[in-house]
Amino acid sequence: MGFAAQLPAAGGFLEQLEAARSLEDLQAVSEALRAHYGVDHLVYHWVSASGEQYGCGTYSPDWVQRYIEKGYLRIDPVVQGCFQRFHPVDWKRLDWSSKAARAFQKDAIAHGVGNQGFSIPIRGPNGQFALFTVSHSCPDEDWAQFTALHRRDMILMAHTFNEKALDLEPGRRPEAAQPLSPREIEALTLLAVGYSRAQVAETLAISEHTLRVYVESARFKLGAMNTVHAVARALSRGLIVV
């Protein structure tokens, strides 16, 4: 199968990770980890709300380039699936049924990504989202054994990569979430669950005009151009929950 079956927890690499001083260091550690675990790839990948992405890992520059150029972010079942999920997930459990997904999969394998994968979603405040992935090429049983063995290590690595990446890229941090007033939150929340403005006003027992003031105020705070935008921003910044 190729990868080491039994190793000490994270093999002391977590310390190396924690000592990283730059993205290049992270890159080097990910290469070392990849070799240590004997897998094909090991990647930390940050996806911002606006679609920009960066990260470090062992994918070939070719593949990374292609991924971005082709807009694979929008069809990659790993990203899509993890985005909707709470927990680490084996790629086999994702939905590869769509044609686009299968085409993507084929392309990915052709670029050496491997047929097996295990990805961990990581989130921060305001909808920040990153992925930590280990991928390999091997039979299902071997992979199942590997993931069972190293699941915890991978969780810790995911955490540590995320922590370091954020430390090293302070510019990527979210805009300061401008706090919304309680009423504004209530208003946007009710709008987000489908109430019309009139219904929201009735629910909050205020005049429709007052409601409008809240929504406008929230729009302003969020830098939104209209209500849809405001609700979307409030949602993706974690200011409201539906």
Partner DNA sequence: TTTTACCTCCCCAGAAATGGCGGGGGTGCC
Partner DNA sequence: GGCACCCCCGCCATTTCTGGGGAGGTAAAA
Please check whether residue 104 is in contact with residue 75, taking contact to mean a CB–CB distance below 8 angstroms. Answer: yes
Q: Which of 36, 66, 85, 212 binds a copy of itself (CB under 8 A)?
A: 85
Tokens found for residue 107: 């392309």
Binding-site member from 65, 71, 74, 144 for a copy of itself (CB under 8 A): 74
Q: Examine residue 132 and tell whether it contacts a copy of itself (CB under 8 A).
A: no
Question: Per CB under 8 A, does 45 bind a copy of itself?
Answer: no
The residue behind tokens 């409030």 is: 234
Among residues 41 and 233, whose Cβ is nearest to a copy of itself? Answer: 233
**Which position among 29, 41, 189, 211 is part of the footprint of a copy of itself (CB under 8 A)?**
189
Q: Which of 179, 198, 207, 208 binds a copy of itself (CB under 8 A)?
A: 179
Q: Of DNA, a copy of itself, none, which one sits near residue 70, judging by CB under 5 to 8 A according to partner kind?
A: none
Nearer Cβ to a copy of itself, position 61 or 86? Answer: 86
* 49 lies in the site for a copy of itself, by CB under 8 A: yes
Instruction: Kindly tell me which of 166 and 213 has the beta carbon lying closer to a copy of itself.
Output: 166
Chosen from DNA, a copy of itself, none, partner binding at 163 (C-beta under 5 to 8 Å by type) = a copy of itself
* Residues in touch with DNA (CB under 7 A): 99, 179, 181-184, 196-198, 204, 206-207, 209-210, 212-217, 219, 225-228
The nearer residue to a copy of itself, 80 or 210, going by C-beta atoms, is 80
Q: Which stretch binds a copy of itself (CB under 8 A): 59-67, 132-140, 141-149, 150-158?
A: 150-158
Per CB under 8 A, which region of 24-32, 63-71, 76-84, 105-113 contacts a copy of itself? 76-84
Q: Which of 71, 193, 198, 207 binds a copy of itself (CB under 8 A)?
A: 193
Q: Is 152 in the site for a copy of itself (CB under 8 A)?
A: yes
Which burial class, exposed, middle or buried, applies to 209 when counting CB atoms under 10 A from its CB (0-12, 13-18, 19+)? Answer: exposed
Chain centre to alpha carbon of residue 48: 8
φ, ψ of residue 239 in degrees (nearest 5): -80, -30
